[in-house]
């Protein structure tokens, strides 16, 4: 049975750089940690280094949430304004703590560095707050419990911005307090199913008999993961860990039946890892020939430990001389069809298979851009080919949108999908 009421936990990320395009890694960290405690992150907001905007966002959040986590803006520089902005939002003063300043001085002395005068501001705490030690940096965190009858107690945590500083602080001090205040009688279990070979909408349709059962105790999301890959995320909330695990077990059994042949993994498993397991099980070896992806496919295949058991190696052949000399692509193919063509991809796959002494050869050639496009050969045009023993070979054409890195990443994902689909089909690749 799920818990009856869901505490509202919000995250407020501070930093103009986050609004200027810097990757925000805080959301997945906090969402995962809270989910493991049987709590949900209800909302995330990002505000610039503007004290008025920050104070206004904090007031709005505190009007609706039970706990507010604020990260960023606790440094020593002019734009680190979280402390005064939160003091304004809460109507509290800031108190200087000499013992904190002494600890900051000791840290700089250990590092043999001069202590700038600006670091003194890091020793100010919201009135009534408890300092949270920072093992990785100079900015202490803060934890404050607000008591404003008739409202139930609210928890406010101020954490530094860098993830390597805030994560041990959150795990050691904030999460236990959140569990104590809001997590009693709550437990969570999570599970991820990974699919390949069907679009997100088709995965949604296939899994609909399961996902329509979402309620206060079960939550599902279906996400596009990579080219041709989709993931189903399931969260079960219950009054005990055993009940949550039992609910997730039932979800897993139903999802596996519904998704059937499209499943390639669970949890953190990758498509490259799934391909590796299939190659190992069938005692097949693989070599790759890459043009537009420049070794990215080989890198993905060898991320899996033990990949040397099935991966023979790869050739990165950008220049046509290498395609001819190392891979045996015919001059007639290059002059008549071009290096970016179905025939060139097939000959590259056969050539690398022979050169490496592998049972299978996988090739990719294309135009990643931004230049190099031509009539009949636009930017994003990619050919993939898979060759096996004898005359067994297949090739596919793709037209990928996006910039250079996007085209290369999609080409690698499509190549892995091509290999996976061939390996899972009975008779798809003969030994």
The phi, psi pair for 392, rounded to 5°, reads -70, 115
Paired tokens of 219 = 């939550």
| Residue 54 confidence (pLDDT) | 96
Closest of 10, 176, 14, 153 to residue 86, by C-alpha: 14
How confident is the model at residue 2, as a pLDDT?
46
Say what the alpha-carbon torsion angle 343, 410, 207, 30 is, to the nearest 10 degrees. Answer: 160
Q: Does this model's pTM top 0.85?
A: no
Residue 174 has pLDDT above 90, yes or no: yes
Residues present in the chain in total: 431
Domains of the chain: 9-182 (3.40.980.10), 187-266 (3.30.70.2860), 271-424 (3.90.950.20)
Q: What is the pLDDT of residues 296-334, one digit of tens each?
A: 999 999 999 999 999 999 999 999 999 999 999 999 999
Assigned token pair, 233: 């995320």
Q: How confident is the model at residue 5 (pLDDT cuts 50, 70, 90)?
A: low
Q: How far is CA 174 from CA 131, 132, 155, 397, 430, in A?
A: 11, 9, 9, 52, 56
Instruction: Report the pLDDT value the prediction gives residue 4, as an integer from 0 to 100.
Output: 45
**Do residues 421 and 427 make contact, with C-beta atoms less than 8 angstroms apart?**
no
Q: Is 337 exposed, middle or buried (0-12, 13-18, 19+ CB in 10 A)?
A: middle
pLDDT (0 to 100) of residue 279? 96
CA–CA distance, 37 with 182 (Å, rounded to integer): 10
Please name which of 11, 16, 26 lies closest in space to residue 49, comparing C-alpha atoms.
16
The more confidently predicted of residues 228 and 15 is 15
Q: Measured on CA atoms in the order 76, 79, 80, 83, is the torsion positive or negative?
A: positive
Q: Give the list of residues 6+ apart from residue 378 with CB closer than 8 angstroms, or none.
A: 367, 399
Q: Which helix (H) or strand (E) holds 272?
A: helix 271-281
Q: DSSP letters along 95-144, please?
A: EE-HHHHHHHHHHHHHTT----GGGGGGGEEETTPEEE--SSSS--EEEE
Is the pLDDT assigned to residue 224 strictly greater than 60?
yes
Neighbours of 115 (CB within 10 A): 17
pLDDT tens, 117-145? 889 999 999 999 999 999 888 899 999 99
pLDDT average, residue stretch 331-352 = 96
Question: Which has the closest alpha carbon to 193: 116, 260, 291?
Answer: 260
The strand pair at 9-14 and 41-47 is best described as parallel
């Amino acid at each position: 049975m799920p818990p009856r009421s869901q505490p509202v936990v919000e995250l407020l990320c501070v930093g103009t750089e986050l609004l200027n395009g810097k990757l925000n890694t805080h959301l997945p960290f906090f969402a995962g940690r809270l989910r493991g405690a049987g709590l949900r992150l209800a909302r995330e907001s990002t505000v610039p280094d503007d004290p008025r905007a920050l104070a206004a966002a904090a007031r709005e959040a505190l009007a609706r949430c039970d706990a507010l986590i604020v990260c960023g803006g606790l440094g020593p520089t002019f734009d680190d304004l979280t402390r005064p902005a939160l003091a304004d939002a809460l109507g509290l003063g800031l108190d200087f703590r000499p013992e904190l300043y002494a600890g900051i001085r000791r840290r700089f002395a250990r590092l043999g560095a001069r202590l700038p005068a600006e670091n003194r501001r890091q020793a100010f705490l919201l009135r009534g707050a408890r300092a949270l030690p920072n093992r990785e940096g100079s900015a202490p965190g803060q934890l404050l419990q607000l008591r404003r009858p008739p409202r139930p107690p609210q928890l406010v945590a101020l954490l530094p911005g860098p993830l390597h500083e805030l994560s041990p602080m959150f795990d050691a001090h904030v999460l236990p307090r959140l569990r104590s205040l809001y997590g009693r009688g709550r437990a969570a279990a999570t599970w991820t199913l990974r699919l390949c070979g069907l679009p997100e909408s088709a995965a949604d349709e296939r899994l609909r008999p399961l996902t329509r059962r979402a309620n206060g105790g079960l939550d599902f999301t279906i996400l596009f993961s990579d080219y041709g890959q989709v993931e189903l995320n399931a969260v079960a909330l219950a009054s005990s860990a055993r009940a949550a695990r039992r609910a997730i077990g039932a979800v897993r059994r139903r999802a596996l039946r519904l998704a059937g042949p499209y499943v390639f993994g669970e949890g953190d498993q990758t498509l490259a890892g799934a391909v590796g397991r299939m190659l190992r099980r069938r005692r097949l070896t693989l070599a790759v020939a890459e043009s537009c992806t420049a070794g990215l496919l080989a890198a993905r295949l060898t991320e899996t430990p033990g990949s040397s058991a099935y991966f023979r190696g790869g050739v990165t052949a950008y220049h046509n001389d290498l395609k001819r000399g190392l891979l045996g692509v015919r001059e007639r193919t290059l002059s008549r069809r071009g290096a970016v063509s179905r025939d060139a991809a097939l000959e590259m796959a056969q050539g690398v298979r022979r050169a490496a002494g592998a049972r299978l050869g996988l090739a990719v050639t294309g135009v990643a851009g931004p230049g190099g496009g031509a009539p009949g050969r636009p930017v994003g045009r990619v050919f993939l080919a898979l060759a096996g023993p004898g005359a067994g070979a297949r090739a596919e054409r793709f037209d990928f949108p996006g910039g250079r890195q996007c085209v290369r990443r999609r080409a690698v994902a499509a190549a892995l999908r091509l290999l996976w689909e061939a390996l899972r089909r009975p008779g798809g690749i003969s030994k």
